[in-house]
């Protein structure tokens, strides 16, 4: 498996991300009971304009997972983490998290959020040292858990 930055100027790569994102976030939508997860509303144009940096994990030249992040002054925000459902529980999300962590400066805060009902994602983040610090209701009955880690 290899991880590399994705080229958002390459329409083929953007479409691969969009297809992967649809498959992965539909699973989360079912887990949390909310179909209006922002990544499910994306278009090629919105991904290109997101100002996020995307990294893809490739297995046999096929995109198996991806992570996107935004660099802020004192924190690195993981904005998306997605794995093809056929590749769940194969270490892809962990590889992507470790890759992003290497981008953060020492003492910098890494931040991520997920639905409070997305227990597999919460367990993954906790396994990597993230701790929940806040919950936020984004729609009636839909609660996000914010997690952070200082590297």
Residue 24, burial from CB neighbour count under 10 angstroms (0-12, 13-18, 19+): buried
For the chain, the farthest-separated pair of C-alpha atoms sits apart, in whole angstroms, at: 42
**Which tens digits make up the pLDDT trace of 76-118?**
999 999 999 999 889 999 999 999 999 998 899 999 999 888 8
- State the angle between helix axes of 119-127 and 11-32 in degrees (0 to 180), rounded to the nearest 10: 110
Q: How confident is the model at residue 31 (pLDDT cuts 50, 70, 90)?
A: confident
Q: How far apart are CA 3 and CA 63, in angstroms?
A: 10
- The pLDDT, as a whole number, for residue 126 is 97
Does the pLDDT of residue 34 top 80, yes or no? no
Length of the chain: 151
Which CATH number belongs to the domain containing residue 105 in this structure? 3.40.630.30
Does the pLDDT of residue 51 top 80, yes or no? yes
Q: Count of domains in the chain?
A: 1
Q: Which residue has the tokens 């297995």?
A: 59
Q: Which two tokens stand for residue 23?
A: 């498959």
SS3 assignment, position 65: strand
**Cβ–Cβ contacts within 10 Å for residue 133, how many?**
11
For 77-95, give one letter per residue: b (16+ CB within 10 A) or e: bbbbbbbbeebeebebbeb
Q: How confident is the model at residue 142 (pLDDT cuts 50, 70, 90)?
A: confident
Q: How far apart are CA 15 and CA 139, in angstroms?
A: 29
pTM assigned to the model: 0.91
The pLDDT of 11-20, averaged and rounded, is 96
Q: Which domain holds residue 141?
A: 2-150
């Amino acid at each position: 498996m290899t991880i590399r930055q994705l080229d958002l100027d390459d329409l083929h790569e953007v479409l691969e991300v969009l297809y992967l994102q649809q498959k992965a976030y539909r699973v989360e939508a079912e887990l949390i009971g909310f179909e209006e997860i922002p990544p499910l509303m994306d278009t090629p144009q919105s991904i290109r304009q997101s100002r996020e940096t995307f990294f893809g994990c490739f297995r046999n030249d096929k995109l198996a997972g991806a992570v996107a992040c935004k660099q802020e002054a004192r924190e690195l925000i993981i904005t998306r983490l997605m794995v093809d459902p056929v590749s769940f529980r194969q270490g892809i999300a962990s590889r992507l998290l470790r890759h992003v962590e290497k981008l953060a400066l020492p003492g910098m805060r890494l931040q991520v959020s997920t639905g409070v009902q997305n227990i597999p994602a919460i367990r993954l983040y906790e396994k990597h040292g993230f701790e929940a610090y806040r919950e936020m209701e984004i729609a009636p009955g839909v609660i996000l858990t914010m997690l952070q880690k200082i590297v």
